[in-house]
Amino acid sequence: MGLFLVLAGMLFTWVLWRAYQRAEETRSWVETPCTIVQSSLHSERPTPGSNLSYRPEIRYAYEFNGRTFIGRNIKRVDGRSAHEERVRSTLAQYPAGLQTVCHVNPQSPCEAVLLHGTRAALYSIWFPLLFVAGGFGMIWNALRAGKRHG
């Protein structure tokens, strides 16, 4: 049981650490002026029996190293929402024609984001580490008990 807790805790710690690293990565990208060229609401029903889901459809033009690109990502990972008003609120921040900045990956200039990802994963990493510590504690106690009785 202790070994299982250690392995599960380490897996979830790694997942959270990787999420933090990906959010942190865009902070080193090049801040570049861009213009919002499209800002619209896209709705879809993922399966026939499901509720509608919404996502913002934003396109922005930017120049990098003398070439023009079209970006589509607000954040590195954009998801759908069941809350139309939240998506409309996001769209209101990026109306067509808005001059703003995007963050461009210098190694792959076709990759850009308007917003950096959240660092929340780092603030939560302590929780799976509790399982790692607890699992090692269980293993330690089992080994100590084995020595006393052996």
Q: pTM score, two decimals?
A: 0.70
Q: Which residues of the chain have pLDDT under 50?
A: none
Phi/psi at 42 (5° precision) = -115, 125
**According to the model, what pLDDT value does residue 69 have?**
97
Residue 150 is predicted with a pLDDT of: 58
Alpha carbon distance, N-terminus to C-terminus of the chain: 21
| Rounded Cα distance, 117 and 77, in Å | 8
CATH of domain 26-117: 2.40.50
User: Domains of the chain: which residue ranges?
Assistant: 26-117
CB atoms within 10 A of CB 61: 15
According to the model, what pLDDT value does residue 49 have? 83
pLDDT at 34: 97
- 118 within 8 A of 76, measured Cβ to Cβ: no
Query: Residue 40 phi/psi, 5° resolution?
Result: -145, 160
Total residue length of the chain: 150
Return d(Cα 97, Cα 19) in angstroms, integer. Answer: 32
Q: Are 72 and 66 in contact (CB under 8 A)?
A: no
